[in-house]
Amino acid sequence: MLERYFTKPQTVDRIRSSWLGEAIERYVTWLAERGYHARCVHHRVPLLMRFAAFVQQRGVSEIDAVADHVDRFIQRQLRQRVRPCGSTATRRKYIHDIRQPIEQFLRVIRVDRQAAAGGSKAARPLTQWAPHFFAHLQDERGLSPTTVEGYATQLRSFERYVTAQCLDGPQALTPTVLDTFLAEKRTHVCARSLTSTCAALRAWLRYLYREGLVARDFSAVIEGPRTYRLSEIPRSITADEVHRTLGRIDRRSSVGKRDYAMLLLLVVYGLRAREVAALTLEDIDWHTSVLHVRARKAGHAATYPLAVEVGEGLLDYLQHGRRQSADRRLFLRTVAPHGAVSHPIVARRATHALRQAGVNVVRPGSHTLRHSCAQRLVDAEFSLKVIGDYLGHRRASSTCIYSKVDLEALRDVALGEGEALV
């Protein structure tokens, strides 16, 4: 595969002679299979060669240990940069362009090794301490794959922390270690995000104690931040801002056609990013003008009439924006790795569109447009039960937050007769 990208035999020989040469060649094959451009390979292979030489100079001879030296390598690259980064944004992008290829390379090689050993292809955190924890979540507790993956995402940050602290096993865990980790994480995330981290960490600590891997149940010392139900207002935007956001999308490109269709689904039907990403070609019934949403968060399906504007946007994307593919998912990536879009991509494209339109909202994303759909229903004086059913809420309590944005009803309460003054 290297000969496909490098014409000089000396270059191919130099790559293969590296102590990471075999892994780099497997990574190049992985990139080629997913449609990455040749210039991407030409950029990443020399970077990986420099990284391999760097870790080898530091005495590393096992691929499992190279991940600990990524930050040091980035710092060296920054020092050796001919032209210093002129701004924080430039520095951040430069670091990203180094870190992302190396971390992707390490993930690909780790998955290949796990597959060769007969293990799971999904890289799970802390498996060296509790190898059967995620099977326990799925088989014994019956959690959905989405919830299990959420636990894995939260525990990866804890894995990075204990690796940096050089803890050699669960016996090294102490309340001080846990408190320090949570205090450090609190500086980067909001209270609700930290609550999810605490929930995953408690479940993992209880499992360690149940399995006899630790002598004490440390789950009781995990104190999450105090949050209050209905303490926030949904981050919706006005109808004019919605129109401005949709109008700023450049629909001449395939990316613009796809993004416009995705955002219409978020705005008109209040779908979640995960539900948009899960749509397939079979979910659109063109004969009866019906849209089927089969993978809702609550575990049920929903059927909506296909609005004219939504149908036109989808048809434009399918005819002129969607590339030819055997994949039956509705929305596909336009750049490598080719395949269906994931729900984080849907959320990021919504964030990009809102910022491009100059819409000022806290934490812009796909849920901003979902909340805007709910706001439109509240303004149309639909009941909370109807709004909850339309949005796919499992419980009525999930819809109560929108009672705070029913301004006319709140104004009537404020201007009511009230109690007589004595």
- Catalytic center residues: 272, 297, 367, 370, 393, 402
Rounded to whole angstroms, how far apart are CA atoms 320 and 288? 23
The token pair at 230 is: 């209905």
Would you tell me the crossing angle of helices 88-116 and 21-33 to the nearest 10 degrees? 100
Sign of the Cα pseudo-torsion (113, 115, 117, 122, in order): positive
Rounded to whole angstroms, how far apart are CA atoms 31 and 29? 5
Length of the chain: 422
At residue 335, what are phi and psi to the nearest 5 degrees?
A: -125, 165
Rounded to whole angstroms, how far apart are CA atoms 129 and 168? 9
Rounded to whole angstroms, how far apart are CA atoms 391 and 394? 9
Per-state percent for the chain, helix, strand, coil, to nearest 5: 60, 5, 35
CA 21 from chain centre, in angstroms, equals: 31
Rounded to whole angstroms, how far apart are CA atoms 359 and 308? 26
Segment (H or E) for 290: strand 290-293
Comparing CA positions, the residue from 332, 356, 335, 193 lying closest to residue 276 is: 332
Would you tell me the crossing angle of helices 254-269 and 366-379 to the nearest 10 degrees? 40
- Burial grade of 397 (CB within 10 A; 0-12, 13-18, 19 or more): exposed
**Residue whose entry in the numeric block shows the structure tokens 């109560």:** 400
Comparing CA positions, the residue from 355, 340, 352 lying closest to residue 276 is: 340
Please calculate the CA angle 192-197-200 and round it to the nearest 5 degrees: 130
Comparing CA positions, the residue from 46, 13, 55 lying closest to residue 28 is: 46
